[in-house]
Amino acid sequence: MQCPAARGLERIGEWWSILIIRDALHGLRRFDEFQKSLGIAPNTLSRRLDALVDTGILERRSYSEHPPRYEYVLTERGRDFRPVFLALLAWGNRHFTPDGESVRVADRKTGAVVDPILVDRSSGRELSESDYGFVPGPAANERTRRRLAFAAKQPPSTNEDARPAPRRRGKMEVRHV
């Protein structure tokens, strides 16, 4: 699979895995802590933890031999998921909080609530759609190069593009353009 986003999603799996990573980012390490936090069935949690260990996102460490018990610690790869999680949290707060935000990101020292954005590490500039685009990397195959070349010719989407069409009442009209 050429797309790094698709490869990342393939490794994460599904939403339970993201919630396990969330809890690990919050400092949870043990099976019973994850189970209590998530309310997840033990067999499902076991499978998800095993998958996250197999993909190198978590590391399993023994903390008791009798009975055998393990804790699950984020690896560097797992810690690198933090900005992805923060972006997902900000997106969810912006678009899916009819009752208001239940979780915010705040500066640990000042308590000031922050709005996570994605910035370029070198320049510190926000990665806006109008200023940045996608280009093929050295390992891109021909299909990826064609897709990105096509995308580069398209104008950036705008809020105008995102607005739903006005609703019509009554008879439906079909237009051929």
Q: Provide the mean pLDDT of the chain.
A: 88
pTM: 0.81
Q: Rounded to an integer, what distance in angstroms lies between the CA atom of residue 157 and that of residue 130?
A: 9
- pLDDT > 90: what percent of the chain? 76
State phi, psi for 78 to the nearest 5 degrees: -70, -40
Q: In which residue are the tokens 């069409």 written?
A: 165
Q: Which of 58, 61, 60, 54 is nearest to 20 (CA)?
A: 58
Q: Band the pLDDT of 157: cuts 50, 70, 90.
A: confident
Q: What is the mean pLDDT of residues 119-142?
A: 92
Task: Say if residues 35 and 42 touch (Cβ distance below 8 Å).
Answer: yes
CA separation for the pair 72, 59 (Å, rounded): 6
96-107 per-position pLDDT tens digit? 999 999 999 999
